[in-house]
Structure 1
Amino acid sequence: MNKEIVIIGGGIIGLCSAYYLHKEGHKVTVIDKSDITKGASFVNAGYITPSHLIPLSSPGMITKGLKWMFNSSSPFYVKPRLDMDFLKWAWAFKRSATAFKVEKAIPVIKDINLLGRKLYEDIKTSDAFDFHYEHKGLLMYYQTEKAGEEEWIVGQRGILEGFDVKHLSKDEVKAYEPDLDLNIKGAIYYGCDAHMTPQEFMRKIHAFLKSQGVTFYTNESVEDIIISGNKITEIKSSKRTLKADEFILAAGSWSGLLAKKLNLKLSIQAGKGYRINVERPTGITMPAILIERKVAVTPMQGFTRFAGTMELGGINHKIRTNRVEAIANAAESYYKDLKIKSSEITNAACGLRPCSPDGLPYIGKSKAYKNLTIASGHAMMGWSLGPATGKLVSEIISEKQTSLDIKPFHPDRKFN
């Protein structure tokens, strides 16, 4: 049965949900507080990353986080604050960062990432719209033996999971990047990964959905949610009232705040990331992560993007210049011939990634409401998991067998 659907949020998760719901024949409306031209879906590294098997909430991250948390230019920075939502999230993060829970999460993360990669490729080969997509793999560069050894442990686990993973010497890296002078000791290569140009895909899927009759209301904030019993009857924005059969909460870092209007406890913290675009030749042809500095490097259409940092400081878009400069310095320390200009640093942008405490997204219906599906909390995997989440959301609402077991993503799950 075709339904009327309202999606709150026009980022990669919301638009992919709209794409698959429209394919199922539903009447879809998307509402977003912005004009859908900026935010995390536009400034990310554009990675599709089956290789990222380890969730953010891992035992090693606790140690690194304590080391980095008071250094405002470190890869992982926590702005100290007495905020109850943050303190509860941090406690849940700590409870999730155990070897046992990481082990349980690995196959879940692997399967949803592989589904996301397949679906991007399906969209690419369909008649819907074309976009930049390259399946070239990912290089993890390291400058110290310690970092290389740590990443190779992850790489060996990747091999056990069936991925193409190689441990490369500096000379062997030359086969992938023959024209670069790299200040590295070696790299771990993951052949399973792919990359894209995010803003191009976002612009094209948005235009495609509009051409197919999906309704968009932009620059409108959801101000109230009206409930009757265990169902949402309508939402009220700053400009209109929208009724629907089903509602999807895909508002990224704002999802937790909107959930409060429904008396739901959706634990999400905004993890700010930054990007620098270099719109001139760099010679870089392979996506890479600079391990020690946690900086992602992506050759996109017409430019190279340097992206990184995880800053837990609440919902704000303040640009911390020292954090942007840390990305530029990291890039220059690995790529010997690279010099990032002050104008490129000045033009940096940021986005807020919605982070759950256990590193898994929230996908599914809360038991509190029959017609609410939640799709948020994807952290640094939002881009990678966009189509997979959209497909699962469509299957949930269309009452079909889901492509994956969605129990690990249940929005009501406890962190204990």
Structure 2
Amino acid sequence: MEKNVLIIGGGIVGLCSAYFLQKEGHKVTVLDKSDMSSGASYVNAGYITPSHIIPMASPGMISKGIKWMFNPVSPFYMKPRWDTDFFKWSWYFHRSSTKEKVDLAIPLIKEINLMSRELFMDIKRSGDLGDFHLERKGLLMLYKTDKEAEHEMQVAKKASFIGLEVQFLDKKALDLLQPNVNMDVSGAIHYECDGHTTPTEFMEKMIIFLKKSGVLIHPNEEVIDFLMANGTIDQVVTDKGNYTVDEVVLASGSWSEKLSKKINVKLPLQAGKGYRINVARPTGITIPAILMEAKVAVTPMTEYTRFAGTMEFSGINTIIRKERVAAIANAVTGFYPDIKINQEEKAAAQSGLRPVSPDGLPYIGKCGQIKNLTFATGHAMMGWSLGPATGKLVSEIISDKTIGMDINAFSPDRKF
């Protein structure tokens, strides 16, 4: 049965939802408050990461957050501020950061990531988007110290135990794998299960395909209210008009909490800002990596190498903090002594806001209070990786099909 579906949010999750919904024969409209050329879906590291099995809300993160709170260049930064929503979120984050909850989350994160990895491949094989950058070279976790090596080895053992492909590399083996780049590291763990893409390329080609397929895409249009009738959303009100709907998908990233409040739905969510620097010079880097001690992501993309990092909780803003950009640049040289990021490259840095739930799991599913509202947000650092899987799940929910995996743990109504 064809439905009139309105998607609020034109990032990777919103566009993938539109992709699979139009495949099911629905009439789809996508709204986004931006011009759809920037933001988290464009500045992320482009990782497809089954290896990221540990949610951010894990034992030890609260103490690290407090330790780093007053350090503006730390990888994980919480700006001190009086904000009751942030206080509540922080308390829920604390309650979620237990070994028991992490152990429950690990198989779910693995399953949805593997689903998404295959869907990326399906999209490529379909030819719908034409050719786009998609590689499966894995992810190197580069470390300098024994402390970081030991920490990541514990994660790697868990990943290996649940069937993910992992290799332990000493410096000699690492140099054979990356012969054209000088690395000041002790060794690496290679998660061979991972892949990577070039986000800007994928997003641009997805928008072109959706428009050709009849999906209506309206950038620079902001949702300002909802008109309700009998427990359902009857109309979505924007700054440019009203839309009568059968179904609504809330995929508006870090803005999802504010929109949820307009319909009296409490959705604990905080914006986690990340930064990226593109280097369009040869670097010799051919395999994605994370610089463990610095928490910086490195990705060889179509026309440049991208260096991305930080998780900054400072509210919804896109302010570029020069000290945080400099911290990324310094970390790069610390791990790759021959790579010096220049002032022009640092000046062109961009930021994006990741929507972070308190327990590190996304919100995917129907809202109990409102019959025709489906949530698709809260993916934190895995938004890019989980875009296709989330879109597929959303299409199954709205099309009343069998859901491809158990999504109870992703419920927007869950308690923290």
Aligning the two structures, in what range does the TM-score lie when normalised by the shorter sequence? over 0.9
Equivalent residue for 2:406? 405
Alignment of 1:237-386 (within 5 A): 237-386=238-387
Deviation at 1:63, TM superposition (A): 2.3
- Structure 1 residues 66-105: aligned runs within 5 Å: 66-105=66-105
Other structure's SS at 1:301 match = coil
SS of the counterpart of 1:272? strand
State the 1:89 CA deviation.
0.2
Q: Using structure 1 for the length normalisation, give the TM-score.
A: 0.99
**Secondary structure in 1 aligned to 2:371?**
coil
1:33 aligns with 2:33: yes
Consecutive unaligned residues of structure 1, counting only runs of 5 or more, are: none
Deviations 1:345-374 (A, max 9, x none): 000000000000000000001110110001
The aligned residue for residue 161 of structure 1 is 162
Q: Does 1:56 align with 2:56?
A: yes
Aligned partners of 1:143, 1:331: CA distance in 2, in Å?
A: 13
Displacement after TM superposition at 1:167 (Å):
1.3
- CA RMSD, Structure 1 to Structure 2 (Å): 0.6
**1:250-297 deviation digits (Å, cap 9, x = unpaired):** 000000000000000001000000000001111111100000000000
Matches within 5 A, 1:176-195: 176-195=177-196
Separation in 1 of the partners of 2:209 and 2:363? 27
Greater CA drift, 55-64 or 403-412? 55-64
Distance across 1 between alignment mates of 2:182 and 2:30: 46
1:81-105 deviation line (CA, Å, top 9, x unaligned): 1101000000000000000000000
1:107 alignment partner in structure 2: 107
Distance 1:257 1:293 in 2: 32
Give the residue type in structure 1 aligned to 2:243. Answer: L
The match for 1:4 is: 4
Q: Aligned equivalents of 1:212 and 1:158: distance in 2?
A: 39
Matched AA of 1:59: P
CA offset at residue 175 of structure 1? 2.0
Q: Distance in 2 between matches of 1:50 and 1:61?
A: 21
Q: Secondary structure at the match of 1:354?
A: strand
Secondary structure (helix, strand or coil) at the match of 2:72 reads coil
Alpha-carbon offset, residue 392 of structure 1:
0.2
Question: 1:414 aligns to what?
Answer: 415
Q: Distance in 2 between matches of 1:335 and 1:396?
A: 46
SS of residue matched to 1:141? strand
Query: Which residue of structure 2 lines up, in the alignment, with residue 197 of structure 1?
Result: 198
> How many equivalent pairs are there?
415
Distance 1:24 1:175 in 2: 47
Q: Secondary structure at the match of 1:306?
A: strand
* Mapped partners of 1:275, 1:76: distance in 2: 15
Give the distance between the partners of 2:2 and 2:224, measured in 1 at CA: 27
Q: Per-residue displacement from partner, 1:281-329 (whole Å, max 9, x unpaired)?
A: 1111110000000000000001000000000010000000000000000
Rounded to whole Å, the distance in 2 between the matches of 1:63 and 1:151 is 18
Distance in structure 1 (CA, Å) of the matches to 2:295 and 2:262: 36
Deviation (angstroms), 1:179: 1.3
Bigger mean CA offset, 88-97 vs 238-247: 238-247
Cα deviation for residue 224 of structure 1 reads: 1.1
Distance 2:127 2:65 in 1: 45
For residues 283 and 160 of structure 2, the distance between their equivalents in structure 1, rounded to whole angstroms, comes to 31
The two structures have a TM-score, normalised by structure 2, of: 0.99
Match of 2:171 in 1: 170
Residue 22 of structure 2 aligns to a residue in which SS?
Answer: helix
Give the AA of the match of 2:403: T
Listed as ranges, the gaps of 5+ residues in structure 2 are: none
Deviations 1:99-143 (A, max 9, x none): 000000000000000000000000011121121000000000001
| Structure 1 residues 383-402: aligned runs within 5 Å | 383-402=384-403
Q: CA deviation at 1:59?
A: 0.6
Output the amino acid matched with 2:338. Answer: D
Q: How far has the Cα of 1:176 moved from its partner?
A: 1.4
Local SS of the residue matching 1:5: strand
SS of the aligned residue for 2:387 comes to: helix
Tell me the secondary structure at the aligned position of residue 361 of structure 2.
Answer: coil
Question: How big is the shift at 1:64?
Answer: 1.7
CA deviation string 1:171-209 (max 9, x = no partner): 110121011111000001100000000010000001100
Percent identity of equivalent pairs = 60
Distance 2:164 2:109 in 1: 14
User: In structure 1, how many angstroms separate the alpha carbons of the residues matched to 2:240 and 2:400?
Assistant: 32
Q: 1:68 offset after TM fit, Å?
A: 1.1
Distance in 1 (CA, whole Å) between partners of 2:348 and 2:85 is 32
Counterparts of 1:248 and 1:175, CA distance in 2: 47
AA in 2 matched with 1:290 = L
Deviations 1:367-416 (A, max 9, x none): 1011000100000000000000000000000000110101010000000x
Q: CA–CA distance in 2 between the matches of 1:133 and 1:199?
A: 12
DSSP 3-state at the match of 1:15 = helix
CA distance in 2, matches of 1:67, 1:175: 38
Residue identity in the other structure for 1:199: T
